[in-house]
Every structure is written in C-alpha cells, then in structure tokens.
Amino acid sequence: MSHTSSEQVTLVEPVQAITAALLGGDLPVQLRLPDGTTLGPSDAKTTIVIRSVDALKHIVRAPGELGIGRAYVSGALDIEGDLWGFVDLQDRLPDVRLSPMEIARFIRMLGPDAVRNPPPIPPEEVAIGGLLHRHTLRADAESISHHYDVGNDFYELVLGPSWTYSCAVFESSDDSLEQAQANKYELISRKLGLAPGMRLLDVGCGWGGMVLHAAEHHGVRAVGITISKEQAAIARARVAAAGLTDRVEIRVQDYRDIDDGPFDAISSIGMFEHVGSEHLRLYFEHLHSLLVPGGRLLNHQIGRRPGPDSKVPLKRERTAVHRRGFVHRYVFPNGELHEIGSLVSGIQRTGFEVRHVESLREHYALTLRHWVNNLDNNWTRAVELVGEGRARVWRLYMAGSSSQFSRGTIEVHQVLAAKTVNGKSGMPWRPDW
C-alpha cells in the first residue's frame, strides 16, 4: 500500500499515542514509520517497522496481542533486528483494555478512512464460531487438521530430523535439538518402566517418534494413534524404514475409540492441550480402563499459571481473553491449557495415583528457539510451502511461546501416574531416571 507524504507525517502522533496506551513509555525498541521517521532509542537491537497505516488500524480495532498479531501476519507491521526484543513486549500487555473514548480518539487521529476502510482480517485466522466449539469428535478433528495438516514438508523444515513437535530435554544447552528429543523419549521410557514384550499405547503419536524409540531401544510392541492423516502417513513410512512394522502399529483414531486394551503403559506427549475441560474425566477414566493393574501413564502437557481465584473450578477458569488471543485464533483453535494442581487432582479423582511431577519449562523455551532458528534459516522455502502469512503465524507463535516459557507465564510438566490396585503401584523403591 502506498501513502502520500502528508499521510505518512500524520502517523507520528497516533503511533506515539497508541504505543504509549498499549505498551507504556520508554520502549526498549525503535519504531520506524512508512516515511522513514524513527521513534525511540537509536541503538535499539529491535526495530518495529510500520509499513502501512493498516498496522495501526488492526491494533486499534483489536487492542493487544490479537491486533498486533494481525498486523504482523498481514505484513503491515514487520520486525527487523532482534525478534526476541519484540516478543518480550508481551510483558507489557497481559490484558489490554482501551476505553471507548480512547478508541474513538485514536480513530480520529487515523482519519475517517480508519472506519470506512478497515483492513481485511488475514485469511489465516479462524473465525470466532468456526472451530471454537465443544470437543466433539468432528470439532476436534477439524481443529487438529487446521494445525497439523499444513504439510509434512513444512513440519520437517521446522522440527528437523527428529520429527518431534513437543518439548525436548536438554542435558546441557549445547545439546543438538535431535539429541535433546532423543533424551526426552528415553526419559519417558524410563519413567514408564518399559521393557521387552510390554505393550505401549502412545496417544497423539505425531510422526511416530515415541513409538519408534520405545520399540527400537526398549523392545516393546507399540500402538500410536493420531487423528491427523498427514502425520499418520509419515509415521507409517518411518516405521517401515526402521523395519519395525511387526512391532509398531500407527492408527488414525481418536482416543475415545480405543477398545483393544489392556496396555502395560500409556504415553501422551503434547496431545492433552486438545482434550478440553469438559472431557478431562472421560479422558483419564478411559486411559485408566485401558491399563493393566500396576500400569503407568505419562502425561506430558503445556499448562498455565493458576488464575487469581484458585477456588474457581477448572472449567469456568477459561476467559474471553483466552478465546480472543492470537494463539487461539491462529494456531490452536480449540486448545486449552490447564493448571498443574487442578490437573493432578483431576487425574487422581479418576483412580490413578500420581507418583511424580516434573517441570520442563526452561527446556521448552530452548526447544522453541531451535524451531524458530530452523524456520528463519529456511524462510524462503517455508514461504514457498505454506505462504508468507502462515509462515509469519508460526514465527510469531513460536517466538512468543518461547518468551512466555522463559518468563514463566506458561509451563510444561510431565505427570507420571500409576494404576494402583490394593496399594500395589508397581513402582520401584527409587526411580532410575
């Protein structure tokens, strides 16, 4: 979009007013307007480039992370220099609210065109009321497809050879991403006590990483389930390439439809965010019914900090802000995060005994940095595969998530639970992991 110089000059005042209202003063970043005018420190490592007045229109119409996200995905706003300096600004807008008077003032600053000619919402955004429904089989399949069926070539580019889309475990920051993902699978295998001849169920198996590791290194027979057809295709090919088709089965199947237990152990890695509050009891009761007495469940999931009122039931703690956020609209249309204390209580209410809880928060911050670097290093190819808008969604989502894990606003835990019967848990006196 081109602009006259007079239009460009008039952006200085609204940019200053809007950024002060949303982010406060003394920003550690520089702002550059369409005419080249700069605001903020000249030595800043991060420059926010406002390429079009549409960036301000997006932000005024949806103040906070959603409007900023729309501006970035559409290309009306860009980032030069240090991406992390930009995403760390999340600290300044946890729940932005502009009064109607403020919004009216900003619209007047932008001129009547801001009302008559609003910028289109990027097509990558899921319309509210689209996939944002209860967790029926159909709705879950649609939301999973929205996120995971963007193309296996794109995921391979971002995730690397491990084909693993969950938090890695680093023995040190010098570990490669592939080594750290192998560390994670080995840690889970040890927590589950996997041994030759055991039967493992991996719920939400992705591209097959856990079942491949467990079969190859621990001699188990494994069933991996996913409701993404694209994931299943790659997982089956990897199983065949590893010569493990006699020990590993990959199914396109919802966890609610599994009826061929028992299993000696169950892993669920990075899938739980898709279950939904109303189905927590169903989820854990069903997995409990599939385990042998003394069998173990390892649930690996992203979580959130508790709300201001810890007495509010988990189901009602979801807020309108959660439904309006960038990640919910662009990345996980039906995703929900749960607080670890409520989750542990929920697991135990279904008959499990929780035996171990481990936080891997810092590990996920580093995992995401690796993924962002993979994306940035292969940006041209990523755009060819999924389009610039979708690539921008992933870059912003992953970088923003890494920042949130670093700051502790979101978390990730592994919860190990046993199907204890008559006081017998099958757990060792002291774990060896």
Spatial distance between the Cα atoms of 98 and 244, rounded to a whole number of angstroms: 57
CB count within 10 Å of CB 135 equals: 19
Strands 263-269 and 199-203, by their bridges, are parallel
Q: Residue 263 forms beta bridges with which residues?
A: 291
40 contacts 27 by C-beta, under 8 angstroms:
yes
268 contacts 291 by C-beta, under 8 angstroms:
no
The structure's pTM equals 0.90
* Domains contained in the chain, CATH given: 5-116 (3.30.1050), 137-418 (3.40.50.150)
For residue 98, what pLDDT is reported?
75
Spatial distance between the Cα atoms of 230 and 228, rounded to a whole number of angstroms: 5
pLDDT in tens, 346-396: 999 999 999 999 999 999 999 999 999 999 999 999 999 999 999 999 999
168 contacts 213 by C-beta, under 8 angstroms:
no
Q: Residue 201 forms beta bridges with which residues?
A: 223, 266
Instruction: Provide the strand spans (E) within 191-260.
Output: 199-203, 221-226, 248-252
For residue 314, what pLDDT is reported?
39
Closest by Cα among 113, 118, 114, 108 to 13? 108
Spatial distance between the Cα atoms of 54 and 106, rounded to a whole number of angstroms: 13
pLDDT in tens, 46-87: 999 999 999 999 998 888 889 999 999 999 999 999 999 999
pLDDT at 137 exceeding the cut of 90? no
For residue 9, what pLDDT is reported?
38
pLDDT in tens, 82-114: 999 999 998 887 666 677 888 888 888 888 777
Q: What is the DSSP letter of 278?
A: G
CB count within 10 Å of CB 183 equals: 16
